[in-house]
């Protein structure tokens, strides 16, 4: 058995995460001894401390650090440069961190699976939230040539507020929830109080995966719309990240 490799999830909070269960069957223990940790870092100072540790081969990155961590990472893939957010860090040979974005792969897989089940082609999309995950969603929608608008509690000139959203009808609309609202333990929360602005068939991709059935999903399904959670996105992005981790194992000598 080789040198023990440590990877983990950086974020706050992380206790709800299913990442350890996802990675456990991916570890090839015949070659290397791997350990996955949930690393709850409440401050950017704590984040920097973990990045400075030679113990770790790689990190998954989640809320609220998908954009903030890039200030501390000098190497970025072309995809990360375009998106402006990362969810995966792995070591280069010289020990520096490389930032990649596998959320793109996860959301694209979820979209393609949903497209096989929808009874319509989305003419437009609404992205709820403006954090790091939303940046990957935007990139996928741009590549699919689906126009979108972002919805924020504190909108800029290019974004909608939630109150503005409810005053305009939307037809054949894909809604993507990139906020943590509805995530365990706050399972009764929802970013939308009313779906009457959706006219005709619409669909929801809720990036929340715990619980598997969110309050927002229930709202969509009870209104006759299609809805899915973020479990497929989670699995696909984890598998893509694992391919990077195992290719770039870290030996701090």
pLDDT at residue 104 is higher than 70: yes
> Of 49, 66, 184, 199, which one is the catalytic site residue?
66
Looking at residue 28, its pLDDT comes to 65
**Band (36; pLDDT cuts 50, 70, 90):** very high
CB 108 within 8 A of CB 83: no
Which run of H or of E encompasses 6?
strand 5-11
Looking at residue 222, its pLDDT comes to 96
Closest CA to 62 of 30, 89, 36, 35: 89
What mean pLDDT do residues 45-58 have? Answer: 94
User: Would you state the structure tokens that stand for residue 191, as one six-digit string?
Assistant: 């970013």
Provide the percentage of residues in the chain whose pLDDT is more than 70: 96
Per DSSP, 101 falls in state -
**Band (1; pLDDT cuts 50, 70, 90):** very low
pLDDT at residue 51 is higher than 90: yes
CB 223 within 8 A of CB 33: no
pLDDT at residue 31 is higher than 70: no
Query: For the domain 104-232, what is the CATH code?
Result: 3.40.50.720
Instruction: Return the ∠ at Cα 164 (arms to 163 and 165), rounded to 5°.
Output: 90
CB 201 within 8 A of CB 118: yes
Closest CA to 18 of 237, 245, 246, 248: 237
C-beta atoms surrounding 127 within 10 Å: 25
Looking at residue 24, its pLDDT comes to 86
For the chain, give the mean pLDDT. Answer: 93
The strand pair at 170-171 and 198-199 is best described as parallel
Phi, psi of 230 (to 5 degrees): -95, 15
CB 187 within 8 A of CB 214: yes
Looking at residue 249, its pLDDT comes to 74
Domains 5-101+234-247 and 104-232 are alike in CATH topology? yes
Closest CA to 79 of 55, 56, 98, 100: 100
Residues 6+ apart with CB under 8 A from 188: 182, 215
Rounded to whole angstroms, the Cα distance separating 186 from 183 reads: 6
- Distance from chain centroid for Cα 178: 8
Question: Does 3.40.50.10860 match the CATH number of domain 5-101+234-247?
Answer: yes
Looking at residue 157, its pLDDT comes to 78
pLDDT at residue 35 is higher than 50: yes
**Band (151; pLDDT cuts 50, 70, 90):** very high
Instruction: Considering only residues 19 and 167, tell me which one the structure prediction assigns the higher pLDDT.
Output: 19
Q: For this structure, is 66 an active site residue?
A: yes
Closest CA to 187 of 204, 206, 209, 211: 211
CB 136 within 8 A of CB 110: no
What's the pLDDT tens digit per position in 207-242? 999 999 999 999 999 999 999 999 999 999 999 999
Looking at residue 250, its pLDDT comes to 75
pTM (predicted TM-score): 0.94
Domain extent listing, the chain: 5-101+234-247, 104-232
């Amino acid at each position: 058995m080789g040198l023990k490799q440590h990877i983990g999830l950086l974020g706050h909070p992380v206790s709800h995460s299913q990442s350890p269960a996802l990675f456990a069957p991916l570890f090839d223990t015949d070659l290397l001894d791997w350990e996955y940790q949930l690393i709850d870092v409440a401050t950017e100072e704590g984040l920097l401390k973990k990045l400075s540790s030679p113990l770790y081969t790689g990190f998954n990155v989640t809320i609220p650090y998908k954009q903030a961590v890039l200030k501390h990472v000098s190497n970025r893939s072309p995809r990360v440069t375009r998106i402006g957010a990362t969810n995966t860090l792995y070591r280069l040979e010289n020990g520096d961190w490389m930032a990649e974005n596998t959320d793109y792969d996860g959301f694209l897989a979820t979209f393609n699976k949903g497209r096989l089940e929808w009874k319509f082609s989305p003419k437009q999309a609404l992205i709820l939230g403006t954090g790091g995950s939303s940046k990957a969603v935007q990139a996928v929608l741009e590549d699919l040539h689906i126009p979108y608008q972002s919805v924020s509690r504190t909108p800029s000139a290019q974004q909608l507020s939630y109150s503005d959203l409810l005053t305009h009808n939307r037809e054949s609309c894909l809604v993507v929830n990139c906020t943590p609202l509805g995530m365990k333990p706050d399972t009764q929360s929802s970013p939308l109080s009313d779906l009457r602005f959706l006219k005709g068939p619409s669909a929801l991709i809720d990036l929340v995966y715990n619980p598997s059935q969110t309050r927002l999903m229930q709202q969509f399904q009870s209104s006759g719309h299609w809805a899915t959670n973020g479990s497929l996105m989670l699995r696909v992005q984890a598998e893509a990240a694992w391919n990077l981790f195992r290719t770039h194992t870290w030996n701090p000598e």
